[in-house]
Structure 1
Amino acid sequence: MKRFFVCLLIMILVCQTGKVYAFQRIVTSHIISNVWYENIFLIADKVDSMATKNFTVQVGELLYNFPNWYNSKFAPKLFYEDINGDELKDVIVALISGAGSGISTKEIHVLNHVNDPYTRYEEVPVESINDALKRLVKMERKGDEITVLIGNKKYVVDYLKFGYQYSDDPPGVGSREDYKPKNGVLYGYTTVFVSIPEAGIGSLKVKYGWDGKMYKAESVTFKKEPFKITTH
């Protein structure tokens, strides 16, 4: 156990030097608990000054490798919360798949906590925000009015009231995204925009539920103002 923490400390110190070496392993995000077996570290190879790849999730002494994970910029978001109602905390990782002017797209990964009878973590599928919106939301534009249809609910937005430079482009989604758990539920967020991502006219909030095989969008709500999100 002592050796484990010494190795971990070395990794953290290397991370803070700011020097880049080939295949340098760094801690990109972490959650420290009062009990050692709930300490969580997200470890990856440093590609350049911002990007990381080839991730390892460490929970206590358990290690899970994900060689195909990639984070383009800033630090990934890491959460530890029960989101499927089994009273076992799950690991949620939100990687940044794209970042730039008006852009912040995310890639979500969930490791369900399983105890059968030994503790382990198992990555399970999560429906992406884009796939959920294609399935549950319809949008159309007539003149300056943009209509958002979600089930039996209809929302109408006047594009001109936002004061953006005029554009007759149709509404779009997906350039700004975020995922985070709240009160035991996983949510996804994105902005509805016209022409360019900065021209936000509203936001969509996706509520996820566990169906026994994957986290799938159960409902979507629309708010008539842009979703403000940070890139890191």
Structure 2
Amino acid sequence: MKTIRKYFLCLVVMILVCHTGKAYAVQRVVTSHIISDVWYENIFLIADKVDGMATKNFTVQVGGGVDSVGGELLYNFPNWYNSKFAPKLFYEDINSDGLKEIIVALISGAGSGVSTKEIHVLNQLHDPYRRYEEAPVESINDAVKRFVKMEQNGNEIAIQIGKKKYLVDYLKFGYYTPVDRPGVGSIEDYKPENGVLYGYTTVFVSIPEASIGSLKVKYHWDGKMYKAESVTFSEA
């Protein structure tokens, strides 16, 4: 089975690049993929390779290669851009409708102590034919602004989330010279867990490496968008 899947993936790449009989100015590559036991649930994330490890002009392909029986669904997203490393790809029902969503986490920024993400969710619909439609997602930063208040008083960081208040002494981490107020956003991640979409970000006191903990954002589908419904803090 693994050998067949590897062959199938290579075949898809060759078809996508060569089926027109023309040479591309850029190289089309499969950046991420999910191979299922049924061909119509194979998911391929395809993009143009830019300088280094960056990719752009994404296509989400649902189903087998272009010659598969029944064809496949293609969704083009020319404005998607991934700066470094492979995007994360998930296929999971996160709105409790019994249909799996395609979740794509692109890397919007990467460097020393920095890893920011850009989340895209394609809701699966049957009306009556199967299709996917991109749904808006509230950003981690916007969710934190709505739910979290952070203040610095001397060497103590106060994090207020609703009625819950966390007090963290940053001196115990060995950070003796914080230069800014506590902040978030330089290190982010998104992933589904047990049918729920979560976002993560690090709380830091001066630079991204000076972490005192992390915030976990829980999302829910409100019928129009994936909106944060709660945030929790975990001390490092």
TM-score by shorter chain over 0.5: yes
CA deviation vs aligned residue, 1:97-148 (integer Å, no higher than 9, x gap): 0000000000000000101111000000000000110111110000011000
Does residue 193 of structure 1 match 2:204?
Answer: yes
Residue 26 and residue 66 in structure 1: after superposition, are their counterparts in 2 closer, same or farther (change >3 A)?
same
Q: What is the percentage of aligned positions where both structures have the same residue?
A: 79
**Matched-pair contact (CA < 8 Å) for 1:192–1:200:** yes
Match of 1:41 in 2: 44
Q: Is contact 2:17-2:28 (8 Å) kept?
A: no
Question: Aligned equivalents of 1:197 and 1:11: distance in 2?
Answer: 43
Question: Equivalent of 1:107, from 112, 115, 118?
Answer: 118
**Separation in 2, partners of 1:27, 1:9:** 7
CA distance in 2, matches of 1:117, 1:79: 24
- Is 2:13–2:29's contact at 8 Å kept on the other side of the alignment? no
Change in Cα spacing, 1:134 to 1:6, as seen in structure 2 (3 Å) is: closer
- The one-letter code of the counterpart of 2:54 is A
For 1:2-59, what per-residue CA distance to the aligned partner results, in whole angstroms no more than 9, with x for missing partners?
Answer: xx97851416999xxxxxx732111000000000000000000111120000000001
- C-alpha distance in 2 between matches for 1:147 and 1:11: 56
User: Is the CA contact 1:178–1:188 (under 8 Å) kept in the aligned structure 2?
Assistant: yes
In 2 relative to 1, CA 43–149 (structure 1 residues): closer, same or farther, beyond 3 Å? same
Q: Secondary structure at the match of 2:133?
A: strand
One-letter code aligned to 1:81: E
Alignment partner of 2:83 out of 72, 76, 88: 72
1:173 and 1:85 map into 2 onto residues whose CA distance is: 30
Distance 2:10 2:186 in 1: 41
Q: Partner of 1:56 in structure 2? A: 59
Distance in 1, matches of 2:234 and 2:96, equals 27
Counterpart secondary structure, 2:171: helix
Cα offsets for 1:189-210 (capped at 9, x unmatched): 0000011100000100000000
AA aligned to 1:190 is T
**Structure 1 contact 140–170 (Cα < 8 Å) conserved:** yes
Q: Indicate the SS of the match to 2:115.
A: strand
Q: Give TM-score, length-normalised by structure 1.
A: 0.89
Q: Deviations over 1:158-186 (max 9, x none)?
A: 01010124224210100000000000000
**Corresponding position: 1:210 with 2:213:** no
1:8 is matched with which residue?
Answer: 12
Letter in structure 2 aligned against 1:89: K
Count of aligned positions? 216
Q: Does 1:146 align with 2:157?
A: yes
Residue pair 1:160, 1:166 contacting (<8 A) in 2 also: no
Name the SS of the counterpart of 1:181 in structure 2: strand
